[in-house]
Chains A and B, each alone.
Chain A
């Protein structure tokens, strides 16, 4: 069981919008920044969002992040078939140990 809770899967049609939730507690998300990672099949994870809502250069503005209290959300608009991947949220606990969500598989129908 992962420390952070994500839905196992989400799906939507091309061009639509999807959100992926990440639920934690005051000992992790509540007091630390959240980052999001995209893992395409057979590849290493790639940073999508850092410090809750910032996008690294090269990440399109179709991807967005937010945090409220002990939960965070990743939003993806204008879905493309190339967005099909596993998405993970990550943060730190009160002992500064890294924690991840269990991952969410995005299917673009």
Chain B
């Protein structure tokens, strides 16, 4: 079955970086985007960005530009999200999610659409 399995919980100090992995199985890794979404405790979902595993192309939310890097290793079907200059407000559960695109006849191109499935989440705690 299609599955995304993420790396384990991390504890980091302010100013440090964290790299979370997301291993895909059950489908062709390079055929779907990988998106990253985070959720602070008791808060809603916040989209961070997407990566095309085939081309390596990325798109980031403006809020994270300059601090986030999304990469992949196609030989092991794994995507990575690295967030640098961590601060306490970055404490959250980070999710990867497979992104589906669909053809939009109005725009004449494939556009991003829904997320399915999601990884189990990785708790990143930033504390001194």
Contact = CB atoms under 8 A, between A and B. Distances in A.
Interface of A: 2, 32-33, 35, 37, 44-47, 50-51, 56, 88, 90, 92, 96-103
Contact of B114 (A51, A96, A97, A103): A51
Chain B interface secondary structure, helix, strand, loop or mixed? strand
B59 A47 contact: no
Contacts of B118: 44-46
Given A2-B44, A44-B95, A92 B112 contact: yes
B114 A50 contact: yes
Interface string B25-57: 000000000010100000011110010000000
Contact of A96 (B44, B111, B117, B121): B111
Interface of B: 35, 37, 44-47, 50, 59, 61-62, 95, 97, 100, 102, 111-121
17 contacts: A35-B113, A35-B115, A44-B119, A44-B121, A45-B45, A45-B97, A47-B114, A51-B114, A90-B114, A90-B115, A97-B47, A97-B59, A97-B62, A98-B47, A98-B112, A100-B47, A102-B44
Contacts of B112: 92, 96, 98
Contacts of B50: 98
A2 B40 CA distance: 14
Contacts of A37: 45, 115
A98 B62 CA distance: 11
A64 to B, nearest CB: 16
